[in-house]
Amino acid sequence: MERHSLTKGKDEADSGGMGKKYYIAGNWKMHKTRAEAAALAKELVQALKDGKHKYLIAPSFTLLETAAPLVKGTNIRLGAQNCAPEEQGAHTGEVSVLQLKELGVQTIILGHSERRHNYKEDDALINKKVHLALKHGFEVILCVGELLEEREAGKAEAVCERQTTEGLKGVAATELDRIVIAYEPVWAIGTGKTATPEDADSIHACIRKVFGKLYGAAAAEKLIIQYGGSVKADNVVALMAKENIDGALVGGAALKAETFVPIAKF
């Protein structure tokens, strides 16, 4: 599928694609104390205030109230790493979309591979969360991606097609402006391994094709697909130069300003 042919030529790719606005998100996972979170948020607000792209940080639930006032009114969105599938009730240990909204959260990451594989969240549960988040006005970053054994068995595209289709089941076309997909090959998360830019772009193209089948070519063209999987300053330019890669969901490198800012301002 030809994309960005009018806006993303060779010169632009060589210069880091600055004519295109990318979406760079930092997933802090289960790291940071409140003091550490405040310090990092302040550093990022200062460092990225003149950044050309779209930015997000997703701290742990306990850090959201600390980070919220620091990023409010800046060009950094506040994200949560998950949410409960219900609005409220007897759900010990869960956090509701209503509670997240009250804190100023704008985006919720759903279906992250660690939720799928470590905590056994299936497509149906993730889909339920997607609908609940959209109902309450959140942007959703829906994560999809294959395990190493699935890739080696030639099933990478099939896995991503299933997770995309099932994750978006019942989502209306009117809600698509709040949907972002993040492709994260599970074998490349926190391992230091990275899909080659060509491998990543191939799966991104597959996801875009699936999205096009569901919602049409125009919607597929507009869809932002982030890449997540050991993104670093030394590989971000090559990844972002690819036609179907529209941003990054960054894990380990998001935990320090000196490693995240070069990615965010590539």
Active site residues: 112, 184
Listed in sequence order, the residues at least 6 apart from 128 whose beta carbon sits closer than 8 Å to its beta carbon are 85
Tokens 């959140």 identify what position?
138
Q: Is 202 exposed, middle or buried (0-12, 13-18, 19+ CB in 10 A)?
A: middle
Q: Is 49 exposed, middle or buried (0-12, 13-18, 19+ CB in 10 A)?
A: exposed
Asked if 183 and 195 touch (Cβ cutoff 8 Å), the reply is: no
Q: Give the phi and the psi of residue 226 in degrees, each rounded to 5.
A: -85, 155
Q: What is the C-alpha separation between 91 and 54, in angstroms, rounded?
A: 34
Q: Give the phi and the psi of residue 84 in degrees, each rounded to 5.
A: -75, 160
Q: What is the C-alpha separation between 220 and 239, in angstroms, rounded?
A: 19
